[in-house]
Amino acid sequence: MTLQDDDTPALAQATRRAPAAGALAPSAEALAPHPSAPLPEVGPPLGAGVRRALGRTGIDVFPLVLGTAGFQTLPDPREATALLDRYAQAGGNAIQVAEAEGDPAPDLVGGWIRGRGLDGELVVAARVSAAVGAANDADRILQAVERVIARLTVSRIDVLVLDLSRSVPGPAALEETLAVAERILQAGLARSIGARGLAGPGLIEARVLASAGYPRIDVVDVAYGLGARAPFEETVAPIALPQKVAAVTSLAVPRGLLEAPARARGVRRVVGGRSRLRRALDAAAVEAGTTAAGVALAWALAQPGVAAAAVDVVVPRHVDELAAALAVDLNRAQVSRLDRAAAR
């Protein structure tokens, strides 16, 4: 997406005013923009070159994935359009949605994609419930995928995240889910498969099933950040890293660090204003010239195996804040202080 600066220099505006009665008409040279006028901005935004490989999927993404869980708090659909525009202007190319009843995000994102003509130019990740156990679960999952594609007005989903958090544990249930994933891939409805709610043992089972011909899980959607470290570091990362499974964290910026608008309700704070971790984040933010949320994002993206972070944003200025934080490189002392604060 190209940004265009349409502001006209004040001097050039003055030369375009109608001449007073009896005055000479301005010459063509006088009507030309002043040589010192700023040039219009052309070309892609600076962030368009900031990309990370999403594991073995062959997909490259902006490290800041725009989460849309907060879109249901927006009273006006135009606010979602403005937010999506700001994200694209920052160089973003990856959006995460969920197929859930009552969630307006897929429709809002779909309207924006259609209006901007962006089908095929964005990386769309969609979570779909993949609980199995009943006879018609395979058809239900397929219908959910088709439904979210229609709502998004895209030809296919780039990363289909199968939400297994409510699925019956065990190899049989996982095999049934991956059999459905195979049908989805063969139908051209998705490019790659990800999973949510799959711990270390499940990843091992998935790898064994992949060696038998089932689709490979290449992305894990996991809650991970300074406010929630143990599950990923202890059970997921030891398996995901050797298999080159990319992690997309949904809790890189702990809840409470991004100021929510007054109308947003039910926002649970994970990092409070007086906690030891919050104080460490604030101190590092001053040193790094960013915000506490920016420091948390930079820390998460520096961790092994983390390809990107999906952050639910509902305020356009937060897009600017987090996109700028992608350039933050925390030093060893800062990381050490943050680690100690998070461990207590």
Strands (E), 68-108: 94-98
- The model carries a pTM of 0.82
- Please report the pLDDT score of residue 173 as a whole number: 85
- Please report the pLDDT score of residue 203 as a whole number: 93
- Return per-residue pLDDT of the chain as tens, 344 residues: 444 444 433 433 433 344 444 444 444 444 454 444 444 444 555 566 789 999 999 999 999 999 999 999 998 999 999 999 999 999 999 999 999 888 999 999 999 999 999 988 999 999 999 877 666 788 999 999 999 999 999 999 999 999 998 766 677 889 999 999 999 999 999 999 999 998 888 999 999 999 999 999 999 999 999 988 988 999 999 999 999 999 999 999 987 888 655 444 443 444 555 688 999 999 999 999 999 999 999 999 999 999 999 999 999 999 999 999 999 999 999 999 999 998 86
Backbone angles phi, psi at 99, to 5 degrees: -85, 95
Asked whether the beta carbons of 64 and 309 are under 8 A apart, the reply is yes
- Please report the pLDDT score of residue 153 as a whole number: 95
- Please report the pLDDT score of residue 271 as a whole number: 55
- Cα–Cα distance, 54 to 36 (Å, whole number): 44
- Strand (E) or helix (H) holding 203: helix 200-211
- Cα–Cα distance, 314 to 84 (Å, whole number): 10
Backbone angles phi, psi at 118, to 5 degrees: -110, 10
Domains and CATH numbers, the chain: 51-256+292-328 (3.20.20.100)
- Please report the pLDDT score of residue 227 as a whole number: 84
Give the contacts of 58 (CB within 8 A, at least 6 positions apart): 192
Per 3-state DSSP, what percentage of the chain is helix, strand, and coil (rounded to 5)? 45, 15, 40
